[in-house]
Amino acid sequence: MMQRLRGLGATAAPIWVLTAVLLVLPFTLGGSWTFMLGLCFANSIGVLAVSMLVRYGGEVSIGHTFFTALGAYSVGILDTRYGISLWASVPLALFMGVVFGILFAWPSRNMHGIYLAVTTLALALAVPEIINNLDALTGGYEGLYVATPFVPGIEMELQRYYVALALLLAATFAVARLRLSRQGMAMLLAKTHPAAADAFGARRVWARVAVMGISGGIGAVCGAALAFSGSTVSPGGFTFWQAIFLLVGSVVSFYGLSMPRVLIGGAFVTLVPQLLSASGAWIPVFYGLALLGMILLGHYMPRIQKALAREK
Amino acid sequence: MNSATNSLRGEQIALSFGGIKVLKGLDVEFRPGEITGLIGPNGAGKTSLFNCLTGAYIPQQGTITYAGHSLDGLSPAARAGKGIVRSFQHVALCPDLTVNENVMMGVARNYSAGWLNAFLPLPRGRKEREEMKRAAEAALTDLGLPDVGDKMPGELPPGMQRLVEIARAVVGKPSVLLLDEPAAGLNNSETRDLMKVLRKLTSTDLVMVVVEHDMDLVMSICDRIYVLNFGEIVALGAPEEVRTNPEVVRIYLGSDDDE
């Protein structure tokens, strides 16, 4: 049983240890690594949003940059245009993500599988165009620069790291709690047996709309974290490829929802291209090989574990 | 026996898929305080009738009422809200939830803690889960499964999975309980336990309908039995009457004329 629950929820001890390590890391690492890890945490939240949709809704999204852009521009616009910091812009981002998740889910409530995935693709493709057309607000190609500190007086470099970490912790905690709730259980039942969910009062349409709302909300929080940790918001950060990378991160972490698992996905999205940056034209090839390696490792891991256990 | 005012009734229910008439204008009445059996060969329309009663199918003709109120136009979830619940012919437990959590879903409709309770460890949500958990454990114990709550459904043999599904149906104290082949896949001792549980569940308020192929179970627990064939009622009566009804015997055993 625990093995099945582990993928959905979280076991406490490794998370506490990991959190403790991440809390002290900026004091031992250089500035560029701290910056990269901040982005990694932000992307991990995006991976969580995509994995949440897979686990609780049984659906795949290749358009989650719509929600990350929504969150990022909530932060960017409030910061540059009105000087309002994350205290207000993160709740706004979350709200916008949930609302647009629901607005997207309602008309597509009866679509499943590849049809829904292609519909989310439309979202992803629309994002850069929307941003450019609203350039009076979004700054168009040039983008926006996020500079208002979250807590005044503390070094901005540290804030960019710790805010993303805090948002990641909050998001994974909330999703772990959801697994234990009546609503979370109803969504899981509606995913596997919609007729049974209906027969016990948990409507499948409600479940779909709720899952999309939550996933959209988490996606927008990812965008808010990306905007703050990355300090700039521009259309280049929300291309179709970014949406694909979030899905890749979700697959690489095997749709895990615990913090360690989504961090694997976030690290794959953020750090692997960075580590490969010296490889020039070979980047896509090595990226593909790394992806293949991760998938094969995950696929054979149960067998490897069994073999090791037998030897012991 | 209670008066028939809280009955579940169907009048002139007709359902067809394309040109195939699955139910041909059925009149049925399921009374509280009774266990009503619904038998017939495969394809007779038993599960289709269940699906009409629960709102999964919308019959082209006829009305369904419970306690004098029309259920027409109500979704399955809304009917569940009125205490009309069912079990499924093919076990429909969620593999991502523990056995206990699956049973908890049967009582979930009685709770209403909001979304904040879903994401944060607030007292109301915790209390709700604790109460649902206790109710589920009690239902599992009643069905003779006290120690399986923490297992995943896939770890249980098929017979036990079916009992878990019945526990999910009964845990929320339904007013109408529709059981679709509850004994399928159960061994003899499990079937005996099931019969005991179903008898124990009968109350003056509960409408219980059982679709079942196990004739021993049907004949021993049912007060009245409807026999369906090709979407029509061919017999209705007490088990003894049905057992000796020549039309029923012909349907189940075939007659010389059929050969």
What ipTM was estimated for this complex? Answer: 0.84
| Strands A144-145 and A232-233, sheet pairing | antiparallel
CA of A207 to nearest chain B CA: how many angstroms apart? 12
Can you give the pLDDT at residue B256?
A: 52
Closest residue to B105, CB basis, from A1, A200, A206? A200
Q: Quote the CA–CA distance of B230 and B124 in Å, as a whole number.
A: 51
The residues, ordered by sequence, that sit 6+ positions from B83 with a Cβ below 8 Å of its Cβ are B172, B173, B174, B175, B176
Average pLDDT over residues B180-205: 86
CA of B7 to nearest chain A CA: how many angstroms apart? 19
CB of A49 within 8 A of CB of A269? no
Interface check for A191 against chain B (CB to CB < 8 A): the answer is yes
**Does the distance separating the beta carbons of A180 and B129 come in below 8 Å?**
yes
Closest residue to B97, CB basis, from A174, A185, A201? A185
**Does the distance separating the beta carbons of A182 and B129 come in below 8 Å?**
yes
Q: Above pLDDT 70, what percent of chain B?
A: 96
Average pLDDT over residues B20-48: 91
CB of A81 within 8 A of CB of A295? no
CA of B44 to nearest chain A CA: how many angstroms apart? 21
Can you give the pLDDT at residue B257?
A: 52
pLDDT of A9 over the 50 cut: no
Coil, helix or strand for B2?
Answer: coil
Average pLDDT over residues A293-307: 84
Tokens of B40: 């017939």
Q: Quote the CA–CA distance of A278 and B134 in Å, as a whole number.
A: 59
Can you give the pLDDT at residue B60?
A: 92
- Please provide the average confidence, as pLDDT, over all residues in chain B: 88
pLDDT of A271 over the 60 cut: yes
Confidence of residue B42 (pLDDT cuts 50, 70, 90): confident
**pLDDT, tens digit (0-9, with 9 covering 90-100), for B73-85:** 898 888 988 889 9
Q: Which of A5, A95, A185 to mutate to test the interface with B (most CBs of B within 10 A)?
A: A185
Confidence of residue A229 (pLDDT cuts 50, 70, 90): very high
pLDDT of B2 over the 50 cut: no
Q: Quote the CA–CA distance of B245 and B234 in Å, as a whole number.
A: 10
- Please provide the average confidence, as pLDDT, over all residues in chain A: 89
Q: Above pLDDT 70, what percent of chain A?
A: 96
Confidence of residue A272 (pLDDT cuts 50, 70, 90): confident
Q: Above pLDDT 90, what percent of chain A?
A: 56
> A110-119, A163-172, B25-34 — which one is most confidently predicted on average?
A163-172
Q: Quote the CA–CA distance of B15 and B180 in Å, as a whole number.
A: 19
The residues, ordered by sequence, that sit 6+ positions from B253 with a Cβ below 8 Å of its Cβ are none
Confidence of residue B201 (pLDDT cuts 50, 70, 90): confident
**pLDDT, tens digit (0-9, with 9 covering 90-100), for B107-124:** 998 888 899 999 999 999
Average pLDDT over residues A183-193: 94
Closest residue to A181, CB basis, from B77, B125, B172? B125
pLDDT of B217 over the 70 cut: yes
**pLDDT, tens digit (0-9, with 9 covering 90-100), for A11-69:** 678 888 999 999 999 888 878 889 999 999 999 999 999 999 999 999 999 999 999 99
Q: Which of B88, B105, B111 to mutate to test the interface with A (most CBs of A within 10 A)?
A: B105
**pLDDT, tens digit (0-9, with 9 covering 90-100), for B112-156:** 889 999 999 999 999 999 999 999 999 999 888 888 999 999 999
Q: Which of A169, A189, A191 to mutate to test the interface with B (most CBs of B within 10 A)?
A: A189
pLDDT of A6 over the 80 cut: no
Tokens of A94: 């979350």
Percent helix, strand, coil in chain A, to 5, is 80, 0, 20
Can you give the pLDDT at residue A70?
A: 95
CB of A72 within 8 A of CB of A224? yes
Can you give the pLDDT at residue A93?
A: 96
pLDDT of B254 over the 80 cut: no
Q: Quote the CA–CA distance of B221 and A84 in Å, as a whole number.
A: 70
pLDDT of B216 over the 70 cut: yes
Return the DSSP state at A251: H
Return the DSSP state at B30: E
Interface check for A8 against chain B (CB to CB < 8 A): the answer is yes
Closest residue to B108, CB basis, from A174, A195, A202? A202
Tokens of A17: 């240890």
Can you give the pLDDT at residue B6?
A: 87
Output the pTM of the full model: 0.87
Q: Quote the CA–CA distance of A29 and A26 in Å, as a whole number.
A: 5
State which CATH number among 1.10.8.60, 3.40.50.300, 3.20.20.70, 2.60.120.620 fits the domain covering B96-206: 3.40.50.300
**Does the distance separating the beta carbons of A199 and B85 come in below 8 Å?**
yes
**Does the distance separating the beta carbons of B151 and A1 come in below 8 Å?**
yes
Can you give the pLDDT at residue A295?
A: 83
